[in-house]
Structure 1
Amino acid sequence: MGQSKSVPIKILVVGPVGAGKTYLVQSLLLGVNSVNDLEPTESYNVDIIKSRKTGFKYNVYDICGKPADRPYHKMFYDETQGVILVINCSDMTKMEDAKNDLDELVGAYDLDRIPILVVANKLDNHGALSINQLTTTLKLDTKLAYRNWWICPMRTKYQYDVDKILEKLDQIVETEKKNRRQ
């Protein structure tokens, strides 16, 4: 992540089907009030998102979450500088898929030492796991112990949460830049 602000930083957005990946990307791009009627991602989408605060440009790859497409994720790993793992905290039927996505990321040689930002989506839904419960369920403290990682909440239609996610992404880039200079 040691590039200048004018060179886009490659970020992968992964997670199970229905986790909210496309919603997050479109909310970062347009704002939550402009996001309507999203179609599931069939393969992948790429958007350029520019941080208003830092000027960093991100090439954001929104990757399809279908388990059958998981083997194809590897083709996106080259030159990736950060990963956002989106998880729907209110859909327990997809927790096993979330675990599999996490295991794939952690086990990928090309992503070794790449920072991971976990987005705990739909925390405001009835019956949703809390951030602490999600951390325990996915064993994040253990699986991500040897890399930089963070977790951010995302509630439905809360621009504040989306702004905080972008702010955290900017902080990750700044931290990585400093670490590479040392």
Structure 2
Amino acid sequence: MDVTMIGLQNAGKTSLLRVLSGGEFTIDSIPTVGFNMKRVQRGHVTLKCWDLGGQPRFRPMWERYCRGVNAIVFIVDIADQDLLPMAKEELHSLMSQPSLEGIPLLVLGNKSDLHIKLSVDELIDALDLKSIGHREVSCYGISAKEETNLDAVIQWLMKWANR
């Protein structure tokens, strides 16, 4: 199963992928230049996860790496509200691409362990997720650091593995 993980820089994509693939959370992740790929094994399902850089110069590549995947995972730092308008703009721009129509979208509000953060409902509103059509859209709050709600993420992804 192919999964592409995208989101603005410093949202926690690489940290999440490291934890999902059985590694340790580290506070000092360096920004991803280009992309990483890791395999995450759960039972009989192997998730091949692409982790794309979130800096502005890498965002034009996102659409190419999202074509034909089983699911797109968009990760947002829910403690950095200043970046939400940019995250919304990038997400909606990407989801409007005809080549990505029908691909399920999972939005993850990362850093739920921090004190000042958005709730899942606030994130849904801030990103205007209800207006994204032509696909299944789900949204969870997670913490890669505390490993909060990661089982739900894996369950959601595995639901799409056989389609």
TM-score of the two chains, using structure 2 as the length reference: 0.91
- Partner residue, 2:4: 12
Query: Does the 8 Å contact 2:111/2:144 carry over to 1?
Result: yes
- 1:130 aligned to which of 108, 116, 119: 119
Question: Matched residues in 2 for 1:164 and 1:158: separation?
Answer: 14
- Stretch moving more, 94-103 or 84-93: 94-103
Q: RMSD across aligned C-alpha pairs, in angstroms?
A: 1.6
1:113-128 superposed matches below 5 A: 113-128=102-117
Query: Does the 8 Å contact 1:27/1:162 carry over to 2?
Result: no
- 2:161 aligned to which of 173, 177, 182: 173
- Partner residue, 2:136: 148
1:27-46 superposed matches below 5 A: 27-31=19-23, 34-36=24-26, 37-46=28-37
Structure 1 regions of 5+ residues with no counterpart? 1-8, 178-182
Question: Matched residues in 2 for 1:172 and 1:125: separation?
Answer: 30
Question: Matched residues in 2 for 1:105 and 1:88: separation?
Answer: 18
TM-score of the two chains, using structure 1 as the length reference: 0.82
Q: How many residues align?
A: 162
Overall identity of the aligned pairs, in %: 25
Question: Matched residues in 2 for 1:35 and 1:13: separation?
Answer: 17
Q: Does 1:107 align with 2:96?
A: yes
- Stretch moving more, 12-21 or 65-74: 65-74
Question: Could you tell me how far 1:156 is from its partner in structure 2?
Answer: 4.7
- Partner residue, 2:67: 78
Question: Matched residues in 1 for 2:152 and 2:160: separation?
Answer: 12
Query: Does the 8 Å contact 2:6/2:51 carry over to 1?
Result: yes
- Render the CA deviation track for 1:62-108: whole Å, top value 9, x for unaligned: 00001222112233133222100000100012112211221132111
Question: Matched residues in 2 for 1:141 and 1:78: separation?
Answer: 22
- Render the CA deviation track for 1:94-151: whole Å, top value 9, x for unaligned: 11221122113211122100000111111231221111111111110112x3311111
Query: Does the 8 Å contact 2:3/2:72 carry over to 1?
Result: yes
- The residue identity in structure 2 corresponding to 1:101 is E
Question: Matched residues in 2 for 1:156 and 1:21: separation?
Answer: 9
Query: Does the 8 Å contact 1:14/1:101 carry over to 2?
Result: no
CA radius of gyration, larger in: 1
- The residue identity in structure 2 corresponding to 1:56 is V
Q: Secondary structure at the match of 1:68?
A: coil
Question: Matched residues in 2 for 1:142 and 1:97: separation?
Answer: 17
Structure 2 regions of 5+ residues with no counterpart? none
Q: Secondary structure at the match of 1:39?
A: coil
Q: When you count helix as a share of all residues, which structure comes out higher? A: 1
